[in-house]
Amino acid sequence: MTDPSGRLVSAAEPIVLSWSGGKDSALALARLLDDPRVEVVGLLTTVTAGYDRVSIHGVRRALLHAQADSIGVPVHEVTLQPESSNEAYDAALANALDRLRERHPEVRRLAFGDIFLEDVRQYREQRIATSGYGAFFPLWGEATDVLAREVISRGIEARLVCVDTDALPAAFAGRRYEESLLADLPDGTDPCGENGEFHTFVSAGPGFREPIPYEVGEVVMRGERFAFCDLVPAGAALAG
């Protein structure tokens, strides 16, 4: 397909993927890459100012940008202050989506890796609708035990970076996401961590041109509940 000037133009729908940097985002990316009807043209990630890390996951921003570089698409940041209110989040998201439209005026929908939390889905749909965007959920409604094994079978290399110790022992922080980890999860734990039991960082998988090199740092407790495993870009100092 060509435009009036004769240049080749993709017939696929351009989509921006909401990107936490974890395995569900990576599996959603893999599904989108499999779909000839869509083309991923960017990532959208929430980061916390001051900490210079991905919100909730606690992953260093440098690793987020290493992921985007490996995937070969730009990352657009929703910047929050620490302990932001819902109103502050909504304002930051609206601002980020305004900037996204300037960069990608052709984009009409955002994709998300959510699986079954209906309230989260509705919240996302409502928030982005105010900025004129629709939503797409490529993993929605699928069995999480099947999705967990698809993550592994597709070669998505993930590591647990945040563990809710109300659901899992802190010792799970820092473990690789693999069959042995799934076998060790306590009864009642969602194998994808969809209820917030854990969050992950992905260093390789479909769409990554090369793996993200990193070193495993220390595990620290935050708020007497969440265990965070610090991942450090390879060659960087184990500090900060």
Could you report the per-residue pLDDT of 202-224, keeping only the tens digit for each? 999 999 999 999 999 999 999 89
Q: Which two tokens stand for residue 168?
A: 């899992």
Q: Which residues have CB under 8 Å from 36's CB, separation 6+?
A: 12
Q: Please tell me the distance from the alpha carbon of residue 47 to that of residue 77, in angstroms, as a whole number.
A: 6
Q: What is the DSSP letter of 163?
A: E
pLDDT digits 0-9 by tens, 80-139 = 988 888 899 999 999 999 999 999 999 999 999 999 999 999 999 999 999 999 999 999
Structural domain boundaries of the chain? 13-233
Q: Please tell me the distance from the alpha carbon of residue 160 to that of residue 163, in angstroms, as a whole number.
A: 7
Q: What's the pTM?
A: 0.92
User: Hey, what CATH topology would domain 13-233 get?
Assistant: Rossmann fold (3.40.50)
Q: What is the pLDDT of residue 142?
A: 98
In contact, 157 and 205? CB cutoff 8 Å: yes
Pairing outcome for strands 53-54 and 75-80 = unpaired
Buried b (16+ CB within 10 A) or exposed e, 226-237: bbbbbbbeeeee
